[in-house]
Amino acid sequence: MKKRGILNLPISKTLAELGHTDKLVICDAGLPIPQDVNRIDLALKAGTPKFIEVLKTILDEMVVEKAIFAEEIKEISPELLKEVKEALGDITIEFTSHEEFKKSSQKSKGIIRTGEVTPYANIILISGVDF
């Protein structure tokens, strides 16, 4: 049995498979997820688990060089954006339209669906390297 870190097998496996510039998405309960993308569904009920909890857990194990959000989060969910920026620290942040975000998320190595119901609680994490 694993002693610490992420216990969820699909998440642990996906993180181990990431290479430089690969994408991993963490999303709210409503983001459309295509059939052919590695879907890791953690949603239990509305609000569980929370987006920020999942993000912080992933950030503990993943080297991230950049994060991408939908532009709409600035106006619709600024409190969440502030909390996420604090969790990201000095990681570069970019914004794109929600439509472009959805297209880009289709090219990810995995999409982790949370139970979050805050609008635009979606992020694309771009994998970095640890050397």
CATH of 18-127, one of 3.40.1010.10, 3.40.1650.10, 3.30.70.2740, 3.40.720.10: 3.40.1650.10
Contact between 103 and 97 (Cβ < 8 Å): no
Of 13, 20, 85, 103, the catalytic one is 20
Residue 98 assigned as binding residue: yes
List, for residues 2-26, the tens digit of each pLDDT value: 888 999 999 999 999 999 999 999 9
Distance CA 113, CA 1 (A): 25
- Tell whether the model's pLDDT for residue 120 goes beyond 90: yes
Q: Is 3 one of the annotated active-site residues of the chain?
A: no
| Res. 41 pLDDT band, cuts 50 70 90 | very high
